[in-house]
Amino acid sequence: MASFSVSTKVEPDADEDCVAEEEVFHFSYLLHSLVIHSFLLLQCDYRIRANANLLPLLALQSENFDDFTIASPWERFIYEIEAVCRNWMADTPTRLLDKGAVALGYSKYSYKVKSELKYGTESYCMEYYFETNINGKPGMADWRSAFHDLQLCFGVKEFLVISPKSASSAVLDAPEASKLLSAVAIALSNCSSLWPAFVPVHESSRKAYIGIQNMSTVFTRRFEADWICSQVPRRLMHLEGLYDLFVSKFAYSTLDLPTNLFKVQFAMRLTYNMLPHDDYNMKAIDAQNTNSGENLTGETSNETLWDNDCPWSEWYSAEDPVKGFELITIWSKKMVESSLEMDELENASPYEAEKWLISPSCPPKLLEGSEWNQNGFASRLHILVDALKTSFEARFMGNFVSADDNSGSENLNSSMIIPPQTVSDQVLKELFQKGVQVTDSAYGGNRTSRAIKGAPLESLFAQFCLHSLWFCDCNIRAIAVLWMEFVREVRRCWEESQLIPRMTANGSIDLSTCLINQKLQMLAVCIEKKCEVNEDYQDCIGSEDQIESITENFSTLVVKDRLASDMSAFKAANPNAVFEDFIRCHSPGDWIDDDLEVEMSKDNPSPRGKLSERMSENGNSWRNIWSRSPALPVSGQKPLLDPNREGEKVLQYLETLQPHQLLEQMLCTAFGAAADTLIQTNYGELKQMESMMQHLYLTLAPALKPLQENRLSPDSETIEDLRRLCIVFQHVEKLLTLAASLHRKFLQAPSLAREIFSDFYNFYIPRLGIGLVEEKEFDKKQAVWNEEREAVANMFVQPTANQSWRKVLSMGNLLNGHEPIRREIIFSVHGVNGNHYAIPTATVSQQNVETYRMYICGTSNDLRVALSVVSCD
C-alpha cells in the first residue's frame, strides 16, 4: 500500500545559497509490515480455502470434538479470535450491555467489550467498540467530539482493537504487529465480518496504528496512523504542503498529471484557545463591555480582581470558574482542485468559517466538590458546625478562652489559635461604626428568608456572625474571644448611653428573628429611652448637684409613665370620675376627710374632704398628667418599660449565654446572611439559578429548625444534617459563581451565557447525588450565531510583543493575532485512477467509494497523520 513519504524542499535561507537536504516524512516500519502482512494474509487465505470442506468441523469444536485440521498454534489463535467475534456478532448491542459492556466517557452511546487471548507465551486483549445509536458514523465534515480517536482518524463506526497486555499496550516488534493483524483479518473474513481491525504500534505516546478492513468482494481498506512530535518539516506546517502530501498518495508525481484531474474534498477544524482571564484580559473585556453601559471590574489597576464588585467580595475572593474559552471554527466540505486554493484558505479569516463553537475552560476541581473554593461561605459554615459540636463541652464562653488552664477537653488543643488583640479590635471597630443604622426594609426580606429565624443581613448580630466565619479559623476559642469582646462593647454603649449601631431606629422588636437579635433590639430601645430623658433634662444641667440628680429624675420619669397608665385605666373604668376620686383610690394619704361627717347624696356626689397640700399646689404634676391622660383600658395601652431594669436584663442574658445556645443562633443567622449575600449577585436572566436560590431558602428553613427548639445534643443527628446542608450550600455557591462569571463575560451576547450555563447545569446537577465520582470533564460546545461572533472575537485580546506566551506565527488563519492551537484537516477522494490501488470501474461506481482519506492533526510543534486506502488485491 502507499506509505507516508513525501519529499519537500526547504526554502533557501536569505544568507545561504545552498539548498538544504530533503526533509523526509517516511514511515519505513509501515512498508516493512505491509510486506509481511500481505504474505501472511495470502498464505492463510490459501490454507483456509484448501480446507474449506473441513470448515463445518469448526462448529463441532464446541461439542467436545477435536479439530485436527488446526495444526499450528497460530491457527488455533485465529480460531479463538473467530469464536469471540462470532459471539459478539450474534449479540445485539442491548444484549452486550446486559453482559457487562463498559460505557465510554466521551459519548453516552459508546461502549466496549473485551476478551483476553493467548498466543504462545504472549497475552493479548481484543476490544470491540460499538454504539447503540445507528446514526453516529462520522462523515466527511462531522467534527463531533463524541467520537473515539480512531473513529475520527479513519471515519469508521464500530471496530476492533487487539493489543498485547503490556505496560505500553502497543506492539513494538514489526513482524509481530503484522502477524497479529493478519490473524484478526483472517478470523473476520471467516466470520464474513466487515469490522475494521486495528493494532497499536510503537510506543503509546505516538498513537500509531495499523489496520485493515474487509469491504466484501475484492476490496480491502488499509489504515496507517503515526505522529511526528518534533521537527515538523516547514512545508507540512502549511495547507499547501499538506495538500501535496495527500495528492502524492495516489499520483505518481504531481508534475505528471494536470492538477485539475484531482477533485479533492476538504474539511477543516481550527481550535483557538483564549488565555486565562488575567488582569490584562479583564481590562480589555471591560473596554468591550463599556459600550453596553456597564463596567464590571470597577478599578482598572492590575490589582483588580475579577469578582471585585460581587456581593461576596467583602468577605472573600473566589477563583474564577471560567479560566478562558476554547473556540472552534469549522469549514465544512469543500471541493479543492489545486494547491493554490489551499494557500487562499490559509489566509482566510475565521469569520469565513461556516460554524463557530465555544466552550468554557473550567478547572477540574470545579467538579470535585470539596476541593472548590476552600475560603467561601460553605467551607466556613462547615467549620462553624464543628464549633457547635464542641460548644457543648463548656458552660460559659469564658471557659473556652481559658481552655489551656482549666478545661479537660481533648478537642481544645493548641491548633485552636486565638488571634492577637489587634485583630479583634479591628473587627469591633468595623462592627461598631458610629452612625451606621439599619432601615426597616432590611428587616422585611423575603418570606422564605424570614422563616430561617436568624438576624437580618445588615443587623449587628448578623455582621458579627459573618465576621466570625473569617475570624482566625473560626474555631470555638476564637469565637469565644470575639463574643466576649462584643458583649463588652455592647455594655459600654449601654453605660455611656450611646446608640447601638446597625439597629433599627423605630423602637420595634421583630419577633421573627433570633432571640439575640431581639435582645439587642430591646437594649437599643432602652438606650433610646435613656437618651430621651437626658435630652429632657439637658437644659436644667448647670451644676454638679443637678448632674447628680439626673438619675433620680430619670427614675421619676419612669414613675411619669406608670402614673399616666393608671390614670387612663381609672378613667376608662370610671367615666364620671374626677381627679379627687383617683387620689382617694390611688394615694389615700393625699386625701384629707372633713371633721363633719356628711352623708353623700345624689345632689352631692363628691366626697367630703380635700386634697393634701402637695396635691393642691399650682402646677402639680399629678394634676397635669390627669388632664392629658385619655380614658384608655390597659388592654389598649402600650406596655410599660423600665429601661434600666430591661437593659440590665439584656446584658445579663448576653454575658451568661451558654455556648451551644450562642452557636445555634449563630448558625441560623450565618446561613441566612450568607444566602442573603449571594442572592444579590447579578447573574443575568438565568432561570435555573433563580430557581436554585429559591430552593436553597426552602431547604434552609426546615434544616435549621431543630436549632430553634433548644433540644440539641453533641451526638444529635442534626449535626450531620447540618454538614450535609453545607455541601448543598457549596453546590449552590459554586453554580452562582459560574453564573456571575459567564454573565460578566457575555454582556454583549447574553444568550451565550444562558446556553453555556444551562449546559453546565444539566451536566452538573445529575452528579450531585453520586458524590461527583465520575472523572468526565465538561466539554459541551455551544454554537455561536453570526451576530455573536464579534463579541466572542473581542474576547481574544490582541497579544503584546513582550508577552512570554506569544508563539511564532506559522499556521495562518489568525484571529485577532492568535493562531490556532490545533488544526485538523480531512482530505478525501472517490474513485481515483492512476495506480494499482484504483477501483475498477467495471465492478463498482467510482463515485460511491472513498478510495483515499487522510486525517491530519497538527500544531506548531507536532503533526499526526492518519491514512486509509481502498484497494483491490
pLDDT tens digits, 375-394: 899 999 999 999 999 999 99
Q: Which residue, among 155, 221, 319, has the nearest Cα to 1 in the 3D structure?
A: 221
Q: Which residue, among 355, 241, 384, has the nearest Cα to 810 in the 3D structure?
A: 241
Check pLDDT > 60 for residue 414: no
CB–CB of 526/650 below 8 Å? Answer: yes
Q: Which three cell numbers stand for residue 258?
A: 494536470
Residue 465's φ and ψ, nearest 5 degrees, are -65, -45
Check pLDDT > 60 for residue 604: no
Q: How many residues appear in the chain?
A: 873
Give the C-alpha separation, 382 to 388, whole Å: 10
Q: What residue type is 401 in one-letter code?
A: V
Give the C-alpha separation, 733 to 679, whole Å: 10
The burial of 624, by beta-carbon neighbours within 10 Å (0-12 exposed, 13-18 middle, 19 or more buried), is given as: exposed
Helical spans, DSSP H, in 432-459 = 447-450
Q: How far is CA 173 from the centre of its chain?
A: 46
Q: Which residue, among 311, 353, 563, 346, has the nearest Cα to 458 in the 3D structure?
A: 311
Check pLDDT > 90 for residue 231: no
Degrees to nearest 5, angle at CA 25 with 178 and 273: 105
Across 529-549, average pLDDT: 57
Grade residue 330 by pLDDT with cuts at 50, 70 and 90.
Answer: very high
Give the C-alpha separation, 74 to 474, whole Å: 70
Residue 266's φ and ψ, nearest 5 degrees, are -135, 135
Between 603 and 428, name the one with better pLDDT.
Answer: 428
Look at 273-282, 414-423, 467-476 and tell me which has the smallest mean pLDDT. 273-282
Mention every residue, 6+ apart, whose C-beta is less than 8 A from residue 766: none
Across 229-234, average pLDDT: 82
Give the C-alpha separation, 600 to 158, whole Å: 119
CB–CB of 209/150 below 8 Å? Answer: yes
Burial call 676-708: b when 16+ CB within 10 Å, e when fewer: bbbbebebbebebbeebbeebbebbbebbebbb
CB–CB of 407/393 below 8 Å? Answer: yes
Question: How much is the pLDDT for 148?
Answer: 86
Question: How much is the pLDDT for 802?
Answer: 60
CA distances from 128 to 90, 96, 104, 112, 115 (A): 13, 10, 12, 5, 9
Q: Which residue, among 825, 824, 846, has the nearest Cα to 263 in the 3D structure?
A: 846
Burial call 437-448: b when 16+ CB within 10 Å, e when fewer: ebeeebbebeeb
Give the C-alpha separation, 549 to 435, whole Å: 29
> Percent of the chain, pLDDT > 90?
41
CB–CB of 663/480 below 8 Å? Answer: no
Across 671-680, average pLDDT: 95
Grade residue 551 by pLDDT with cuts at 50, 70 and 90.
Answer: very low
Grade residue 411 by pLDDT with cuts at 50, 70 and 90.
Answer: low
Concatenated DSSP letters of 119-181: ETTEEEEEEEEEESSSS----TT---SSS-HHHHHH--SSEEEEEESSSS-SB--HHHHHHHH
Residue for cell digits 482549666? 406
Residue for cell digits 466539554? 779
Contacts 24+ apart (CB under 8 A), 764-768: 764/367, 764/731, 764/735, 767/367, 768/731
CB–CB of 126/115 below 8 Å? Answer: yes
Grade residue 352 by pLDDT with cuts at 50, 70 and 90.
Answer: very high
Question: How much is the pLDDT for 635?
Answer: 80
Check pLDDT > 70 for residue 546: no
Give the C-alpha separation, 21 to 848, whole Å: 41
Axis-axis angle for helices 643-655, 476-495 (nearest 10): 170
Secondary structure of 213-252 in HEC code, one letter for each residue? EECCCCEEEEEEEEEECCCCCHHHHCHHHHHHHHHCCCCC
Considering only CA atoms, give the Rg of the chain.
Answer: 43
Quickly count: other Cβ atoms within 10 Å of residue 5's Cβ.
15
Axis-axis angle for helices 687-704, 659-678 (nearest 10): 170
Selection from 27-41, 145-159, 832-846 with the highest mean pLDDT: 145-159
Residue for cell digits 385619655? 630
Grade residue 248 by pLDDT with cuts at 50, 70 and 90.
Answer: confident
> Percent of the chain, pLDDT > 70?
74
Q: What residue type is 50 in one-letter code?
A: A
Check pLDDT > 70 for residue 369: no
Three-state SS at 839: coil
Across 357-367, average pLDDT: 86
Give the H/E segment covering residue 778. Answer: none
Check pLDDT > 80 for residue 714: yes
Question: How much is the pLDDT for 138?
Answer: 52
What pTM was estimated for this model as a whole? Answer: 0.76
Give the C-alpha separation, 249 to 254, whole Å: 10
Question: How much is the pLDDT for 642?
Answer: 80
CB–CB of 510/517 below 8 Å? Answer: yes
Q: Which residue, among 482, 315, 457, has the nearest Cα to 387 in the 3D structure?
A: 482
Render pLDDT for 440-465 as a digit per residue (tens, 0 to 9): 655 555 666 778 889 999 999 999 99
Across 253-262, average pLDDT: 53
In 627-728, the DSSP E strands lie at: none
Concatenated DSSP letters of 509-549: --TTS-HHHHHHHHHHHHHHHHHHHHHHTGGG--SHHHHHT
Question: How much is the pLDDT for 105?
Answer: 77
Question: How much is the pLDDT for 479?
Answer: 95
CA distances from 637 to 206, 254, 316, 625, 633 (A): 90, 107, 49, 15, 7
Give the H/E segment covering residue 264. Answer: strand 264-273
Question: How much is the pLDDT for 53?
Answer: 35
Quickly count: other Cβ atoms within 10 Å of residue 344's Cβ.
12
Give the C-alpha separation, 271 to 819, whole Å: 9
> How many H helices and E strands in the chain?
28, 18
Check pLDDT > 90 for residue 177: no
Between 307 and 25, name the one with better pLDDT.
Answer: 307
Q: What residue type is 208 in one-letter code?
A: A
Question: How much is the pLDDT for 35?
Answer: 35
Check pLDDT > 70 for residue 498: yes
Across 184-190, average pLDDT: 93
Check pLDDT > 70 for residue 670: yes
Q: Which three cell numbers stand for residue 556?
A: 421619676
Give the C-alpha separation, 672 to 465, whole Å: 10
CB–CB of 151/142 below 8 Å? Answer: no
Across 670-685, average pLDDT: 94
Q: What is the mean pLDDT of the chain?
A: 79
Render pLDDT for 637-647 as a digit per residue (tens, 0 to 9): 776 778 888 99
Strand pairing partners for 222? 212, 869
Render pLDDT for 769-791 as a digit per residue (tens, 0 to 9): 544 445 567 888 999 999 999 99
Give the C-alpha separation, 185 to 189, whole Å: 6
Residue 340's φ and ψ, nearest 5 degrees, are -65, -35
Q: Which three cell numbers stand for residue 79?
A: 480460531
DSSP annotation of 818 reads B
CB–CB of 611/592 below 8 Å? Answer: yes
Question: How much is the pLDDT for 404?
Answer: 52
Grade residue 371 by pLDDT with cuts at 50, 70 and 90.
Answer: low
Check pLDDT > 60 for residue 430: yes
Check pLDDT > 60 for residue 244: yes
Render pLDDT for 291-324 as a digit per residue (tens, 0 to 9): 444 443 333 344 578 899 999 999 999 989 998 8
Give the C-alpha separation, 731 to 738, whole Å: 11
Give the C-alpha separation, 520 to 646, whole Å: 11
CB–CB of 65/57 below 8 Å? Answer: yes
Mention every residue, 6+ apart, whose C-beta is less than 8 A from residue 84: 115, 117, 126
Concatenated DSSP letters of 55-91: THHHHHGGGT---TT--SHHHHHHHHHHHHHHHHHHS
Across 563-584, average pLDDT: 89
